Amino acid sequence: MKFWIPVTLVVLALGGVIYYNKIFTKSHAVAGNTSGQPQEIAIQGFVAKSKSLTNNLVASGTLMPAEQIEIHPEVSGRIISLNINEGREVAAGTLLVKLYDADLKAQLRKLQVQKENQEKIVERSKKLLNADNISQQDYDLTTTTLNTILSDIDLIKAQIEKTEVRAPFRGVIGLRNVSLGAYITPSTLITKLQQINPLKIDFFVPEKYAVSIAEGDKVAFAVDGFGENFSGKIYAIEPDIDQATRSLKIRALVSNPSAKLHPGAFAKVNLDVENITAVVIPTQAIIPQTRGKKVVISKNGKAVFQDVVTGLRDESNVQVTQGLTAGDTVITTGLLFVKPEQNLKFTKIEE
């Protein structure tokens, strides 16, 4: 019994403290706001205005040669001449590799002798035909034989030409994979040839920006290792959108006269896809909702919560496409404490 007396006293003491606090708080609240209306709150505001906004799109791109090929021989043979200066620029038509062709040249000389003899036979046959000493059929046989020899000569010349591997365009030779005297086949990779001035840059943009991009638009990009930005111009757009990524492939041309940029490098592309004039407000004025967004505007000195639809953003502002007009004053501070129809007192209004 003696044990319960102290416990009872403690419980009664705590109950008294709680009751006193409730009465004290309530009395002060009534004394501080006898009208029952929301209290006036001091906040800052911003006058919505029209401003030009640019949507800067950042995309990942890859630098590529304007032209590039793997160089293979057309026929099999032994290399008798090798003219590949690795990493150096070569002109279009430069002889890079020469294969053994002595047997083909011997056949060509033989056919040329036959051609000369057959031309003499044709000439004599023509005189005999004019004198009615041979038939037209005999003359036709001699001309047919000559034409066959001429065709064989053209064939051998074509085969000899295939033993020469030449650069099809001006570009930079890569590292060679063969040596002088090696026997190679059409499957042998001799080297690579790339045209690196100009370069191409490929990048992808989301499909929603497809209507905002056109041939001739300029792009800026940065490459790791360089403390400067580079520029290019869009010259081709893939006609269809990639169904897997829902993105559009863009290709731009980049001038590279000093060969500073290398094919295959990663590029961070910046592209201005939209530039419009719209009503803008500071981003901190937007109140996210479960469905949609709101702002608090001042009407006749009272707080009004307004539904809005936003669009483009930049570093500090957001476009409002619906819900506001230029000249409306929106609240930018104290948004957590503002209630509908609450009296507002602005300490600062930015215009």
Structure tokens that stand for 134 in this block: 């041979």
Q: Which residue has the higher pLDDT, 335 or 27?
A: 335
Residue 17's pLDDT band, with cuts at 50, 70 and 90, is: very low
Backbone region of residue 202 per phi and psi (left: phi > 0; alpha: psi in -120 to 50; beta: other values): beta
From residue 277, give the alpha-carbon distance in Å to each of 48, 82, 115, 203, 273: 13, 63, 80, 28, 14
- The first and second tokens of residue 4, run together, are 């319960």
Instruction: Say how far apart CA 144 and CA 118 lie, in whole Å.
Output: 10
Average pLDDT in the chain:
86
* Parallel, antiparallel or unpaired: strands 344-350 and 41-47: parallel
Question: Does the structure show a pLDDT above 80 at 8?
Answer: no
Cα dist. 124→132, 150, 200, 271 in Å?
12, 19, 63, 77
Task: Please list the residues that pair with 280 across neighbouring strands.
Answer: 49, 319
Q: Measure the CA dihedral 171/175/180/183, to 10°.
A: -100
Give the separation between CA 189 and CA 53, rounded to whole angstroms. Answer: 52
Asked which of 16-25, 70-79, 216-225 is least confident by mean pLDDT, the reply is 16-25
Residue 49, burial from CB neighbour count under 10 angstroms (0-12, 13-18, 19+): middle
Q: Quick: pLDDT tens for 255-277.
A: 999 889 999 999 999 887 766 77
Residue 311 CA to residue 274 CA, distance in Å, equals: 11
Give Cα separations from 190 to 154, 166, 179 (angstroms). 27, 12, 9
For the cut 70, the answer to whether the pLDDT of residue 18 exceeds it is no
Q: How far apart are CA 281 and CA 323, in angstroms?
A: 12
SS3 50: strand
pTM, two decimal places: 0.64
Express each pLDDT in 86-100 by its tens digit.
999 999 999 999 999
End-to-end CA distance of the chain: 75
**Model pLDDT, residue 199:** 96
Give 272's contacts (C-beta < 8 A, 6+ positions apart).
Answer: 54, 55, 56, 57
Please, what is the Cα angle at 155 between 150 and 158, to 5 degrees? 125
Nearest residue to 319 via CA among 288, 272, 276: 276
